[in-house]
Amino acid sequence: MSLAGSVTFAPEHAREAARDFDLKRLPADFIDDPFPYYHALRTHDPVHRMPDGAWFLTRWRDCDAVYRDARVFSSDKKIEFRPKYGDAPLFTHHTTSLVFNDPPLHTHVRRAIQAALSNRVIAEMEAGLVALVDRLLDAIERKGRADLIEDFAAAIPVEIIGNLLGVPHADRGPLRGWSLAILGALEPVLTPEQMALGNNSVRDFFKVQGPKGFTASLQLSDRLYTATVDVTLGQGSHTSPVPSPSVSAWSGFATAGHTSQASPTPSPSASPPAAEQPPSLPNVMRESRSTAS
C-alpha cells in the first residue's frame, strides 16, 4: 500500500494511538496499513516504552544510533528468547545466529563470510542468475499468468543460496517453507502451532545441513564452510551451543537471504520520511544503566 492510500489518525486520536501501541497486541488494522501508527509514534512518542518494558524506536536516527553502539546496546537475545523458546531448537538457532551476536564474534564471522563471497565469486554467479531469470520468465509466459512471489521471486534465492551452500537440487524443495517457519517464529506472539512448526523446521534443516551434511557440496560451499568454521573454532573464548555460529551463518543464508528477496515489501515511496529531530536516547540510556545496576 502506498503512503498516499494511508488514512492518518485525527489529531485527537494520534497521541492515544502512540501511547497505547503494543507490539504484542497489535491493532486489527495494523498489518494492512501500519503507516498511521508509525507516524503517530514518530510525532508523539518516538522512543516508546511498551507494557513489557521494551523500547520501540520509530525514528531512523535513533535506530541508527542504537545499531552503531554495541557497547551500550546488545544484539544478544538469550535473555529475551529464553522465556519464549525455552530449550527448544529455535532458541539455539536464533541465539547462535550472526544477527543476534555482538562483536567480536559477530565481526569475526561476518569477515569470514565476506572473504568467502568476494567480488570475483559474486561475478561468477551472474551468468547462472541471468539464465535462471530467463527460465522463470519463459515459464510465466507459457502459463499466461503468474504469482509474482511463488513463480518468480521465491525461486531466485532458493537457487542462488542453494548453490552457495552446495544443496543438491533434489533437496531444495523444503527450503522456503523452513525459512518462513524459522523466521516467522521471531514474531512477538506465536501460536502453539507456529512454535511447533518453527522447531520442527530447525530440526529438519539441520538434519540435512549440519557440517558437510548435504549429499553434495560445491567448491564455494566448501570455502564458505571452512572460512566460518576456522574463525569460529579459533575464538575459544566465544564458544556457543551447537550449532556453532558458523553453521547458523549457513542457515542464515537460506532463511534471511530468502526472505529478503521473496517477501513482499513496500516500495521506498511507501515509507514516511524520518523525522530529523535529534535522537532522544540519553534518558533511555541512563534509565537502562540504572535498571541494570
Q: Percent of the chain having pLDDT more than 70?
A: 68
pLDDT for 105: 79
- Judge contact between 58 and 32, C-beta under 8 A: no
- Interatomic CA distance for residues 65 and 48, integer angstroms: 16
pLDDT tens column, 27-50: 999 999 999 999 999 999 999 999
Helix, strand, or coil here: 242?
Answer: coil
pLDDT digits (tens, 9 = 90+) for 125-134: 899 999 999 9
The closest of 22, 18, 46 to 277, measured between CA atoms, is 46
Q: Which domains does the chain have, with CATH numbers?
A: 1-59+274-293 (no CATH), 77-266 (1.10.630.10)
Question: Could you give the CA distance from residue 80 to residue 183 in angstroms, rounded to a whole number?
Answer: 16
| pLDDT tens track for 188-242 | 999 999 999 999 998 888 776 554 443 333 344 455 554 444 444 444 433 333 3
Separation between Cα atoms, residue 30 and residue 39, nearest integer Å: 12
Output the pTM of the full model. 0.69
Percent of the chain with pLDDT over 90: 38
Instruction: Give whole-number Cα distances, 20 to 43, 196, 290, in Å.
Output: 14, 31, 25
Largest CA distance in the chain: 65
**pLDDT tens by residue, 7-24:** 678 888 999 999 999 999
Q: pLDDT category, 74, cuts 50, 70, 90? A: very high
| Spatial contact of 140 and 151, defined as CB atoms under 8 Å apart | yes
